[in-house]
Amino acid sequence: MDDASFTGGQPDPSHEGPLSRAEAAQLLQRADELLAAGEFADAGRHYARVVGTDDASITAAALLGLGEARYRLDDDAGALSDWQAVVKLPETPSTYPAWRNIAAAQVRAQNLRDAVEAYRQADRRAPPADKPEIANRLGWLTKELGDTGAAKRYFARGRGDGLGIPVSRIILAVTVVISLTAEISIEGVSIFRALALDKPAVADGEYWRLWTVTLLHGGYLHLGFNMFALWIAGPIVERWYGPGRFLVFYLACAAAGSVASFAFGSDRISVGASGAIFGLFGLLLAAGRLHHPVDRQSRAIVGQLGMIIVINLFLGFAWAGMIDNAAHIGGLLAGLWFGAIIPPTRIATLSSFWQRAGAGAVDRVSRPPPAVPVLAVVVVAGAVVAGLVYGTAIREGRRADADGAARVAIVEAHVAQRPPDW
């Protein structure tokens, strides 16, 4: 081939012979320009010339473009054939868009079952920003096919619910069942003994109580208030961050609240999910004020959280003997930390909304480096460990003082009972 035809002027697809990688790339770029300009027939000729190049990624891109050109020229069968050829090649960047195009072509042809399979293949390769859209399309297709169960699951994924039932609702249900069982069951005392935040037991190594305490409550009113708060705040956190991170936040804030109670609270046994709930409140407050999520559904609720937190902390100080304010403050601080350092990653924020979207997707969501959420969790975990060490030392000191006082009392009792000549 005459290399001059590529180095000067436009590349000519009529030249015969093998193509170098650079020549194929030039033809592919020119084909893309022609396709964008609406010159579909010329674009198709350029794409067809590149097909068969030794580089699988270039051949796949050419087949993808050739299918698009044929589709624009109303050659649906030819377009589908080209896109199917793409997915038979080794995996390339063109594989994902080819599966999406195949799915759309099958929908147009009313081959819904083939469309479902193609969208499932696309979903396996889709970037996170595209997954909700694909899930919704799968929802509509499976609904049309009469599979309502699958449709509900796909629509739930499209909303970001993940499991179909929000994780916050699952936690709420489990908490209600265990709390009510402990209240009304004849085995209720045993349940409280096993799960409550018993500070001396934690000092002896029963660390599971940092989390199981959230499953018990001191009466129906306490349970009702906490579960209502979880019902309101939980889905917002899931919508902003996703179910996986919601679960991490809930458990971390619960541990932080329990450790604060263990290290700085009284020796009284504690129950309740208040530490975790305050953590969710703190997270929403910090994320809402610092990152400004674009979420009309929760704007009114999040805007009132500051006053709700202040009122509840005041009540905690006013009724210090009845309310474990140390747990509230510990959970709140953990939540504020998470909300400040980790921006919402499932919805747009004012800063991410104006960012340039990634190639091929308009995601408009924050994507913090993976080290950021890891760092946030590590810091809270470190604080929990430090609180356990401090609280254990405090309680061991109290135990030693109590043992010393008991020994003194025994000696004094013996002295009081000594015989006159002793």
Catalytic status, residue 328: yes
The yes-or-no answer on residue 274 being catalytic is yes
Pair of tokens at residue 126? 């889709």
Q: How many CB atoms lie within 10 A of CB 173?
A: 12
Helix or strand run (H / E) with residue 416: helix 371-416
Which residues make Cβ contacts (< 8 Å) with residue 35, sequence separation at least 6?
A: 43, 65, 68, 69, 72
How many Å is the maximal CA-CA distance in the chain? 127
Residue identified by tokens 């946030």 is: 376
Distance CA 157, CA 288 (A): 24
- Residue 359: count other Cβ atoms within 10 Å of its Cβ: 7
Sequence-ordered list of residues with C-beta below 8 angstroms from that of 354, at least 6 positions apart, any chain: none
Residue 346 carries which DSSP code? S
- Taking Cα atoms as reference points, which of 171, 300, 297 lies closest to residue 231? 171
- What distance lies between CA 346 and its chain's CA centroid? 8
What is the C-alpha separation between 401 and 369, in angstroms, rounded? 49
DSSP 3-state assignment of 68? helix
Say which of 46, 298, 328, 352 is annotated catalytic: 328
Residue ranges in 265-370 assigned as alpha helix (H): 274-291, 299-303, 305-318, 325-341
**Angle of helix 56-72 relative to helix 76-88, nearest 10 degrees?**
160
Cα distance between residue 210 and residue 254, in whole Å: 7
Q: Are 61 and 94 in contact (CB under 8 A)?
A: yes
Q: Which of 168, 179, 274, 352 is catalytic?
A: 274
The residues assigned a catalytic role are: 274, 328
